[in-house]
Amino acid sequence: MSASARSRGALGLAALAGAVFGAGLVISGMTQPARIVGFLDPLDGWDTSLAFVMAGAVAVYAVAHAAIRRRARPWFDARFDMPGRAAVDAPLVAGAAVFGIGWGLGGFCPGPSIVAAAGGSTAAIVFVVAMLAGMHVRHRLAAGR
């Protein structure tokens, strides 16, 4: 298979996976900030639906990951690209804290915010712009090290 065909195949598979992911977010209601805030506030009518969506996602990922790892190589690349770093350090903890604060305040995490923004949600568009600005700042700070 030529490099161009591999690239087109990978792009097509990524687009399909993104479409299925986005559809799942819409169907499960996870593009609605009230669901997220309802999950994060157990004292005021706790909405546990997010926990079930996350458990389902983890189960699907676990099965898929186990099946994929048995392959000698991926379909559209020469090798698997696995993270080389496993340490929990201050930048990782700070990033997780910023992510969690943004998630709680905005009611969105990155995937659902993009889906909701594509659907025209003003709040999601503002969130995505802020998220992209934060990513840009982080990239600039990391480049300066």
The phi-psi region of residue 45 (left if phi > 0; otherwise alpha if psi is between -120 and 50; otherwise beta) is left
Residue 124 · residue 113 · CB < 8 Å: yes
Which of 38-42, 76-80, 131-135 tops mean pLDDT? 131-135
Q: What is the pLDDT of residues 83-94, one digit of tens each?
A: 777 789 988 898
User: What CA–CA distances, in Å, run from 76 to 15, 16, 35, 73, 141?
Assistant: 14, 14, 36, 9, 33
pTM: 0.68
* Residue 1: pLDDT over 70: no
